[in-house]
Chains A and B, each alone.
Chain A
Amino acid sequence: MGKLSDALAVLDKPAVLAAVQEGIEAGTDPLQLVEEARLGLEAVGREFDKGNYFLMELLRAAQIFKDAVALLTPKIKERYGSAASRGTVVIGTVAGDVHDLGKNIVRDLLQCNGFEVIDLGVDVPAARFVEAIRQHKPKVVGMSALLSAAVTQVGRTVEAIEEAGLRDEVKIIVGGGIVGEVKRHTLRVDHATTNANEGIGVILDWFGREQA
């Protein structure tokens, strides 16, 4: 790990931005700087898994990462035209539920990991998920559900995706509140969790496996 990733690992925003600036001025490949920052983010994720960092630190790391990437984006465009995306994920909080905390954290972490995220917002009807799958052709659909009734709504949304004949084209992950305590097969999804970092790991695995 270098200076940039070390600074991100300890959530030192001024040091991260200074290291990025230094790298830009030294003519370092901006994608290499993004990769260094990502290593720092991964270190934060490991600390989270060990119980040394908590959700707020994870959120803070994503914020610092995004600030660093914002400095680098013009340089990336200058050199490469546009940044390559790792893939597309459609995400939203299901109908009847307006909680967006968990969804936003996962969205930010996915973006930090190079995914294009189509965020459908909160209180998203099943039909809107179906429409977004048709339009954006994501490999993964993420649904957030905090309330117990929203968990039922996850089932309805999965049903709508099945009825539209799209179920085999996407992996579905559901997160938030009590969903981690509901048996996965009851929801007919590919993964259910209450842990944002775990969810990101699962999605990375899915994309990794498909790329392999």
Chain B
Amino acid sequence: MKERLSCYERLELAWNLQEADRVPVAPVNCYIIPYLAGISIRDMFYDPDKLIAATIKAREMLGGGDNIDPNITTLNHLSMFGRAGWDQATLDWRIWDDFPPKGNLPSLFEKALIEDYDDVMERGFAPLLYSKNGAQAIFSRSIDEFLYYEFEYPKVYAAAWRRFVEEQEVPLLMGGRACHPLDMLQYYRGIANLTQDIFEQPEKVKAMCDWLVEYETTMAMRDAMIMGAGEVPGAEVIFFVNGGPPGMSPRIFNEFYWPTAKKMIDIFVTRGFKVHCHWDNDLTPHLETIKHMADGLPKGKLLLDLEKTDMKRAKEVLGDRICIFGNVPSAMLVYGTPEEVDAYCKKLIEECAPGGGFILSTECETPWDSKPENVRAIIQAAEKYGWY
């Protein structure tokens, strides 16, 4: 057995497609943390100290893991300009105290906010944000509150996580978060309108995607810098969501999704960041395109986090190019047994871990109502089967 490495060293070797001491394990634990630790969703959003304490408690209950999700998503939800305002536009400011069935998680609502792509490209997002659809939510907050959550709160939030990383010696999953323009258009136009646009005004969709690149990349890198990129381990990682609308054919993926995705990845990496592509749905039909993700870039900067994609096939196609991450099914974590999780993880490790470049994790994220013993089974599987 090799000398035991730190969490960060272990992850670094996986990113660099090398075998570490053992397979890194990193379930994406988000809302399960406040749920298990007994704090409200509101506290998770507004009180970083409570969130950090809850994280420490929940990690003990769930068996740890080689990194921690600092929930940049929630930080973005509070920011006026985060994600070009799409959080405000689509969240309806529903930050509940309770979990279901009494309350709910913040959920995104698809809204056809964009009616004219040219108007947005000419005047920016402000007219959208202050439109009749968005104004009500935005003006329910005071200017003081706006400014605080835009410019001051991210620093408070970052300082809390910096303390966590120093004390716990566990790196962050990410420092900033970027959204692919096609995902944003799905929220802004609705999937039905976006589909129609792709077929009826393809050049406008492409132009809009192009227009959004600078906005999205800049905001994500700003967040990562505030979170301590270069100083706080893991803060240099941009979490790049969400893999596009579901059900793209290879033609649509290659023509509408891929060029913008590659452009954004190149921007992040050439500016010194790493990119964690958190791409949902089943991308198996697109792996031959995705394998070009690392073209022209230095080694060790990319990770592909897959949801429903065939992991064995992903390893075959991408194994010598990109670190892959995933994918214990959400349904299994909520409805399955530790034995089922153990068997699934063992198979994943056998198929994906040889040679390095694999991190054992969940699909999209650990559902908040997962059985804790099932999440622990993921961590335990890495210890049981993951030693190189």
Q: Which residues of A contact B (CB under 8 A)?
A: 11, 13, 51, 53-60, 63, 95-101, 104, 108, 147-149, 151-153, 156, 178-179, 181-183, 186
Contact = CB atoms under 8 A, between A and B. Distances in A.
Contacts of B109: 98
Given A101-B191, A148-B331, A152-B369, A56 B252 contact: yes
A148 B329 CA distance: 11
7 contacts: A13-B200, A54-B247, A56-B198, A63-B195, A148-B368, A148-B370, A182-B331
A99 B246 CA distance: 13
Given A147-B367, A149-B369, A181-B331, A100 B110 contact: yes
Size class of B's contact patch?
20 to 34
Given A51-B285, A54-B285, A60-B195, 4 more contacts: A108-B192, A153-B100, A153-B101, A178-B334
Nearest to B109: A98
Given A97-B107, A98-B109, A59 B249 contact: no
A153 B192 CA distance: 26
A13 B199 contact: yes
A46 to B, nearest CB: 15
A59 B192 contact: yes
Contacts of B246: 55, 101
A68 B130 CA distance: 37
Interface in B203-256: 245-249, 252
- Those 10 A-B pairs whose CB atoms lie nearest each other, nearest first: A55-B247, A181-B331, A148-B367, A178-B331, A54-B249, A148-B334, A149-B100, A96-B100, A98-B107, A54-B247
A11 B200 CA distance: 11
B330 A11 contact: no
Given A57-B249, A98-B107, A149 B367 contact: yes
Q: Tell me which of B105, B109, B329, B335 has the highest count of chain A C-beta atoms within 10 A of its own C-beta.
A: B335
A96 B331 contact: no
Given A97-B107, A149-B369, A56 B247 contact: yes
A18 B233 CA distance: 61
B191 A59 contact: yes
B104 interface: yes
Contacts of B198: 56
Contacts of A13: 199-200
Which DSSP category, helix, strand, loop or mixed, fits chain B's interface?
loop
Contacts of A149: 99-101, 367-369
B317 interface: no
Interface in B82-121: 99-101, 104-105, 107-110
Given A101-B191, A104-B192, A56 B245 contact: yes
A9 B245 CA distance: 22
B332 interface: yes
Interface of B: 99-101, 104-105, 107-110, 191-192, 195-196, 198-200, 245-249, 252, 285, 329-335, 367-370
Nearest to B90: A98
Nearest to A55: B247
A89 B22 CA distance: 52
A124 to B, nearest CB: 13
A58 B199 contact: no
Contacts of B99: 149
A56 B99 CA distance: 33
A147 B335 CA distance: 13
A60 B248 CA distance: 12
A56 B329 contact: no
Contacts of A178: 329-331, 334
Central interface residue in A11, A96, A178, by most chain B CB within 10 Å:
A178
B249 A53 contact: yes
Contacts of B370: 148
Contacts of B334: 148, 151, 178
A176 to B, nearest CB: 11
Contacts of A55: 246-248
A178 B331 CA distance: 6
A183 B109 CA distance: 28
A40 to B, nearest CB: 15
B330 A148 contact: yes
B87 to A, nearest CB: 15
Contacts of A148: 330-331, 333-334, 367-370
B104 A181 contact: no
A51 B254 CA distance: 17
B192 to A, nearest CB: 6
Contacts of B285: 51, 54
A203 B109 CA distance: 28
Nearest to A64: B199
B369 A181 contact: no
Nearest to A152: B369
A181 B249 contact: no
B91 to A, nearest CB: 10
B200 to A, nearest CB: 8
A172 B107 CA distance: 26
B252 A11 contact: no
